[in-house]
Amino acid sequence: MKIAKKDILTALEHITVPGEGQNMVESGAVTNVQVFGDEVEVDVTIKNPSLQARKKTEVEILKIIHQEVYAKAKIKVNLKVDAPAKPKVNEIKGKPIPGIKNIIAVASGKGGVGKSTVTANLAVTLAKMGFNVGLLDTDIYGPSMPIMFDVALERPLSVTIDGKNKMRPVENYGVKMLSIGFFTQPNQAVIWRGPMASKALNQMIFDAHWGELDFLLLDLPPGTGDIHLSIMQSLPVTGAVVVSTPQEIALADARKGVAMFQQEAINVPVLGIVENMAYFTPEELPQNKYHIFGKDGAKHLAKDLQVPFLGEVPLVQSVREAGDVGRPAALQTGTPIEMAFEEITKNTVQQVVLRNKALPPTEAIKITTMAGCSAVKKK
């Protein structure tokens, strides 16, 4: 028997797609019908992704065509699901932390690109600008902040606040700090698992007396593992800064770092990318720039990923030396390094402001103007 296409469409007008009011032809769910002799092919797209809805749609199409048009028709249903994207909810996750306005996670895909160095210098620069700054070293693989702040031999003291025992962060250069390194032996290799690490971190945040902070910086471990997932999901992180060198291999990992923050389970806005070791400058020839890891790689990556570029830090001996002696290089006034970190810090604050404006306010995000920036050089 020869089947007419219009008879198929008329038959399909008798049925609806589960969850949709109109019949499936009128609603546009039927996208195509083809007839070859007694063979019928129906293309249909539904919004409900459940197996039950898909099965029901298919069975009903077969039934109605057999019943209304031709009982022996050979029918093929090509069913596609086009589920509407879930509306994005506020990215701030976890419990708001009283007194802490913004949490910035500093990450790198690759190890050794200078993430901790950038975090330490960002922290002291924010403090110089007049902000209240905390720094949480979550780098379970190699906590380096106690050395970079010259407090490796100190330990957080216990204080009683409102009848509860709390840890008081160690303080230097106007930055309050807690590190996972304060709780491990220097020569002890610790194997951390995600939940264990996030429990320790939760204690360092919720059982610590941070006081009022404009910014709490998190120095994350390198990489993009399940530890990052645990940290990100348990804390109300405002945004992330990704550090990379211009080198291809570091950029590939930085790309993964950005993707990690953007994936649905994490969904933390990326405030921008910092290019560290952008070029080498020898002390005796300050005008000379040698792009030993490549040129502008992180800048191009930022453009490609459509995230802000926050600035670049040259590779200079004084940065490494300053880290080793425990006094971040940005504290050396009047130097190009101080200027580089001021630029990066201002851009970061600006991105935090923009990001906070774009999202509904929560307890975790309070800085909504650049007022803090006018405090530059307040101290």
Ligand X SMILES: Nc1ncnc2c1ncn2[C@@H]1O[C@H](COP(=O)(O)OP(=O)(O)OP(=O)(O)O)[C@@H](O)[C@H]1O
Interacting residues with ligand X (CB under 6 A): 108, 111-117, 139, 142, 144, 222, 276-277, 313, 315-316, 319-320, 323
Distance between CA atoms of residues 376 and 50, nearest Å: 56
Question: 25 or 344, CB closer to ligand X?
Answer: 344
Question: 156 or 311, CB closer to ligand X?
Answer: 311
CB of residue 191 vs ligand X: minimum separation in angstroms? 16
What is the CB neighbour count within 10 angstroms for residue 135? Answer: 29
CB of residue 206 vs ligand X: minimum separation in angstroms? 24
Question: 60 or 137, CB closer to ligand X?
Answer: 137
CB of residue 106 vs ligand X: minimum separation in angstroms? 9
Question: 250 or 307, CB closer to ligand X?
Answer: 250
The sign of the CA dihedral 369, 371, 376, 379 is negative
**Helix count and strand count (H, E) for the chain:** 10, 13
CA-to-CA separations, 376 to 49, 117, 216, 328, 343, in angstroms, rounded: 53, 21, 18, 18, 11
CA-to-CA separations, 332 to 10, 280, 358, in angstroms, rounded: 80, 19, 35
CB of residue 142 vs ligand X: minimum separation in angstroms? 4
Residue 109 is labelled as binding a ligand: yes
CA-to-CA separations, 272 to 73, 131, 175, 296, 301, in angstroms, rounded: 59, 20, 22, 15, 10
Distance between CA atoms of residues 213 and 195, nearest Å: 26
CB of residue 45 vs ligand X: minimum separation in angstroms? 47
Residue 47 is labelled as binding a ligand: no
Residue 112 is labelled as binding a ligand: yes
Asked if 273 and 244 touch (Cβ cutoff 8 Å), the reply is: yes
Question: 29 or 113, CB closer to ligand X?
Answer: 113
CB of residue 378 vs ligand X: minimum separation in angstroms? 26
Residue 374 is labelled as binding a ligand: no
Closest of 221, 216, 215, 176 to residue 196, by C-alpha: 221
Residue 33 is labelled as binding a ligand: no
Question: 133 or 364, CB closer to ligand X?
Answer: 133
Residue 21 is labelled as binding a ligand: no
Residue listed under structure tokens 């593992």: 225
Question: 81 or 249, CB closer to ligand X?
Answer: 249
Q: What share of residues in the chain are helix, strand, coil (percent, to 5)?
A: 35, 25, 40
Distance between CA atoms of residues 286 and 32, nearest Å: 69
Any idea of the CA torsion for 274, 149, 289, 299, to the nearest 10 degrees?
0
Question: 174 or 223, CB closer to ligand X?
Answer: 223
Residue 115 is labelled as binding a ligand: yes
CB of residue 225 vs ligand X: minimum separation in angstroms? 13
CB of residue 161 vs ligand X: minimum separation in angstroms? 32
Instruction: Give the DSSP per-residue string, 113-176.
Output: SSHHHHHHHHHHHHHHTT--EEEEE--TT---HHHHTT-TT--PEEEEETTEEEEEPEEETTEE
Residue 19 is labelled as binding a ligand: no
Asked if 38 and 74 touch (Cβ cutoff 8 Å), the reply is: yes
Annotated binding-site positions for ATP: 109-116
Annotated binding-site positions: 109-116
